[in-house]
Amino acid sequence: MNTADLVKIAEGANGPVYVYDAEKIKRQYERLTSAFSGVGKLRLHYATKALNNISILKYIQGLGAGLDTVSIQEVRLGIQAGFDPATIIFTPNGVSLNEIEEVAKLGVQINIDNLSILEQFGSKYPDIPVCIRINPHVMAGGNSNISVGHIDSKFGISIHQIPHLLRITENTNMRINGIHMHTGSDILDIDVFLHATEILFETAKNFRNLEFIDFGSGFKVPYKQGDIETNIEELGEKLTAKFNAFCSEYGRQLTLAFEPGKFLVSQAGYFLTKVNVVKQTTSTVFAQVDSGFNHLIRPMLYGSHHEIENISNPNGRERFYSVVGYICETDTFGSNRKIAEISEGDFLAFHNAGAYCNTMASNYNSRYRPAEVLWINNEAHLIRARENFEDILRNQIELDASILSGKATVEA
């Protein structure tokens, strides 16, 4: 997919649009499987929350992946997309026992991350296999907002609570078939991550009937020129050696599992917007686009960087712009960015828009959520229609005027 293809899609979209390049998703998937080709059994569970369009799920299922889910709705999406329930893992946080029970009925692998639910579920369903999510108290990521392995995280069962955990599993005689961790996103230091895996291996030794060990994910991808990223090849070489050695000591070949989301889809995504206004103030030139944090919240929520390219004038003279949206809030996508000269009506492309972008969109300011397009086999295919005014009103209940005015009569 080239710049001309993006411009053509933007021109026909009649509003902001997300575009995903299938070939880039496939390349990332193959890069990961290649890095861990030395493992006897490998399972990649794609993190649904990163990008949950059903056509994307079907495509990733076709590559051979399983699915990582965090809600019963994501589980149902996966099943609708054709995933075998046995290849889906359910790793919720803070949900009710009832939701976990409903998911278990679907035949999905359950992953529990707190002692209370573990004891309740194990007492009622000792024969249903359960994975346990451990908090190793290790932050392998570079952003505290998206690192979940620290000691005060709400995710996982603390390694300091292992004795309590073992008491529960022994008293309930429940089946533990997996051990899991997730240190958070943007893994920068492979050695720190490997240290966390050692903690997981030590925990795994407490359970003699494991089938898999799940190391989560959080692999960092580059967001700008020269940006650092997780060295997947180095990680693959080092973790494969450690994992194989552990399996030899354990006495059985286990499955090594990961849950890549951002790694697979981030770089495959582009968010296309149109410039409504170029506005000069005393010190800043604003390029105001037909979008805002209702469509792409990551820069405002996490301080995330997305490269911004003027695809209408890619070879123009570079100038400095602050790219902002049309929402009645401060919605700055990028401050003082060097971008090819922008004119009103130009189309801008935001890079790395495949993960945690459209899935976090909203209808704030009563704006429509964007369309989505999949670029596959050198063709653009609409996979989500742009919303309309009827979608805004859907599920709203318009009360009768007499009720709202307080003049409604009470029937005897």
pLDDT digits (tens, 9 = 90+) for 106-160: 999 999 999 999 999 999 999 999 999 999 888 655 544 444 444 567 888 999 9
Q: Which segment of 41-45, 184-188, 325-329 scores lowest on mean pLDDT?
A: 184-188
Q: How confident is the model at residue 189 (pLDDT cuts 50, 70, 90)?
A: confident
pLDDT at 125: 97
Q: How confident is the model at residue 188 (pLDDT cuts 50, 70, 90)?
A: confident
Of the options 3.40.190.10, 3.40.50.450, 3.20.20.10, 3.30.479.30, the CATH number for the domain spanning 36-263 = 3.20.20.10
Whole-number average pLDDT of the chain: 93
Q: How confident is the model at residue 409 (pLDDT cuts 50, 70, 90)?
A: low
Residue 108's alpha-carbon distances to 56, 68, 121, 168, in angstroms, are 20, 10, 14, 22
Q: In percent, how much of the chain has pLDDT > 90?
A: 87
pLDDT at 411: 53
pLDDT at 69: 98
What's the 3-state SS for 2-45?
A: CHHHHHHHHHHHCCCEEEEEHHHHHHHHHHHHHHCCCCCCEEEE
Q: Clarify whether 357 is annotated catalytic.
A: no
Q: Is the pLDDT of residue 254 over 70?
A: yes
Q: How confident is the model at residue 31 (pLDDT cuts 50, 70, 90)?
A: very high
Boundaries of every domain in the chain:
36-263, 269-393
- Tell me the C-alpha distance between 224 and 220, whole Å: 12
Residue 175 identity = R
389-401 confidence digits (pLDDT tens): 999 999 999 999 9
Selecting among 131, 247, 328, 357, the annotated active-site residue is 328
Q: What is the pTM of this model?
A: 0.92
**Residues sharing a CB contact under 8 Å with residue 206, sequence separation 6 or more, in sequence order:** 162, 166
Residue 372's alpha-carbon distances to 17, 97, 195, 272, 409, in angstroms, are 6, 35, 40, 10, 48
Q: Over range 174-195, report the average pLDDT.
A: 87
Residue 400 identity = D
Of the options 1.10.3720.10, 2.40.37.10, 3.40.50.1260, 3.40.190.10, the CATH number for the domain spanning 269-393 = 2.40.37.10
**Residues sharing a CB contact under 8 Å with residue 30, sequence separation 6 or more, in sequence order:** none
Residue 354's alpha-carbon distances to 34, 52, 134, 266, 409, in angstroms, are 22, 10, 28, 4, 53
Q: Is the pLDDT of residue 290 over 80?
A: yes
373-382 confidence digits (pLDDT tens): 999 999 999 9
